Structure 1
Amino acid sequence: MKLKVYTVSSFAKTLEGGNPAGVVLDADSLSEKSMKKIAGAIGFSETAFVMKSDSAHFKVRFFTPEEEVDLCGHATIAAFYVLLSKGLIKPGIFLQETKAGILSVEVKEDSSIMMEQNVPSFYETVNKKEIADSLNITENEMIDVLPVQIVSTGLRDILIPVKNIDILNSIKPNFEEVSRISSKYNTIGYHVFTFESLYGSNAYCRNFAPLYGICEESATGTSNGALASYLHKYGNTKMGSDHQFVMEQGYSMKKPSEIIVELIVEGLVVTGVKVGGKVMNLTEIGVEI
């Protein structure tokens, strides 16, 4: 039996860019085993399975080729773009039930999608030498005044500041070590960034999550939500007064991506996080189940 699967590129800056995700609609009848099999067959970093919900407009589950994860930014963007494109929803605000909680998603008139994430949680700082060794760089190539820290707006990531784009682009990780350290700290992976950018953005990023079968990802919504929150906490001077951030990612993979993050701030406290962007390249494929 063939199952209809939609594929799109979320956060795409160009037709070649973005982060591809699979989307399966009406997935209520699928078992967890089937969802894992489908995600593996598609082979993208995440696939979203859209279902009915008693507590929100939709329930969405997210699978990497290896595991289920609580939340995925780019697959959420993909799912709601497909729902819009197929005429199942119109522009507006919707609630999605996820394992990270019930979160809102805004579908804009220009077909861009902004998703709510959890308010940020800041966890332990991580030894810089341990991280540097796993990335095959030196501690001197990291930014001295900023910590390597675990932050989550839905998924725990290790945020790692380095000094410039040349250093970041030259990184060749030891993926076994990155997986071991990610597991040790109960995180999804590494989000490595620099304040240098190609197009005047707040940060230029690379993301490594080999523990979940993703050596490198071209655009990560949850990681960049965490990064914007981290930049706000540590007083990033490039932050605009409206608390909007633009992150560049995927250029090292020749998949240019642009991720928009909006923080809602009361006083000095982040009370809301929204992440989103554009979507391109909607296609339909059949997958045997």
Structure 2
Amino acid sequence: MTDVLRYSAFTTDPEGGNPAGVVLDATGLDDAAMLAVAASVGYSETAFVRPTAEPDAFDVRYFSPLVEIPFCGHATVAAAVALGRTGLLRFHTRAGLVEVAAAPGTASLTSVPTESADATPAEIAAALTALGWAESDLDPAYPARWAFGGAWHLVLVAATRERLADLDYDFDALADLLRSHDAVTADLLFPRSADTWDARNPFPVGGVVEDAATGAAAAAFGGYLRTLGHVREPRAITVHQGVDMGRPSVLRIDVRPDDPRVTVTGAAVPIP
């Protein structure tokens, strides 16, 4: 029987954050077995870690209950903390190399290079229909874009916090739209201030209504801001996610104008 650890990431309280499964030695598990384990765990993602011959380097794969995901931030933080090591870890993922600075109870992951592209009017219209939003519900200062930070996400910035709080979407329609662009979540955001944001992440592609903390989307969002010219000097951005779900999470994003990679930092704790 596979030993699965359970951690909650981007929180210091096991009642908050986003739960992740962690298998510290997935040697011998094939794709079907990993998917079956992830489905039985039932969290948005489970990380499957395989040691390599290189010290402090690991092959890591991520499965939701329905599909494999190329990269998952919260499960990366959970896995790094669960390994119990300090210093620089190297996670070889399907998206590429992710370096993780690990310390007791916390981890800072540095993403693969980010990128983003405009969403077309048709894609925006489909997203708004699936979400039950109107065009006026979008903040015109932040255009809708597909953003990548190890996985693709659709970034939409709401015009009001009330719009973000009222999330009731068409699960199948949004899943179909995201799949059509090889994306995993919709990253819905609202700026409390320039450097403090609220976020929600529907994840129907993985069979999950909403993620309470999404490190991959946070990395993609940092890259999105950089592409739009909002990062003229090194910036630290705080994202509050999971608040509307009753599982508050805090993610720190560090973005530089001279580096397309983004660092995402958070805590993780075991779930009793």
Q: 2:99 aligns with which of 97, 104, 110?
A: 104
TM-score (norm 1): 0.87
2:50 paired with 1:58? no
Amino acid corresponding to residue 226 of structure 1 in structure 2: A
TM-score (norm 2): 0.92
2:148 paired with 1:182? no
| Structural mapping, 1:1-289, within 5 Å | 2-12=1-11, 14-54=13-53, 57-84=57-84, 89=85, 91-108=86-103, 110-127=104-121, 128-196=124-192, 202-236=196-230, 241-266=233-258, 270-283=259-272
Comparing 61-70 with 270-279, greater Cα deviation is found at: 270-279
- After superposition, what is the alpha-carbon deviation per residue over 1:83-124, rounded to whole angstroms, capped at 9, x for unaligned? 11xxxx2x101111111112211013x531001111111124
Partner Cα separation in structure 2 for residue 143 and residue 5 of structure 1: 42
Gaps spanning 5+ residues in structure 2: where? none
Give the superposition deviation at 1:229.
1.8
Give the superposition deviation at 1:183.
1.7
Amino acid corresponding to residue 3 of structure 2 in structure 1: K
Comparing 145-154 with 124-133, greater Cα deviation is found at: 124-133
Partner Cα separation in structure 1 for residue 232 and residue 13 of structure 2: 25
- After superposition, what is the alpha-carbon deviation per residue over 1:217-247, rounded to whole angstroms, capped at 9, x for unaligned? 00000101111221233344xx795411110
Gaps spanning 5+ residues in structure 1: where? 284-289
- After superposition, what is the alpha-carbon deviation per residue over 1:188-224, rounded to whole angstroms, capped at 9, x for unaligned? 1211101137xx9521010012022121100000101
Partner Cα separation in structure 1 for residue 215 and residue 42 of structure 2: 19
Q: Is the 8 A contact 1:169 1:252 kept in 2?
A: yes
Classify the secondary structure of the residue corresponding to 1:59.
strand
Classify the secondary structure of the residue corresponding to 2:3.
strand
Percentage identity across paired residues of the two chains? 26
Amino acid corresponding to residue 101 of structure 1 in structure 2: G
Amino acid corresponding to residue 214 of structure 2 in structure 1: T
Structure 1 segments of 4 or more deviating over 6 A? none
Partner Cα separation in structure 1 for residue 24 and residue 144 of structure 2: 38
Amino acid corresponding to residue 114 of structure 2 in structure 1: P
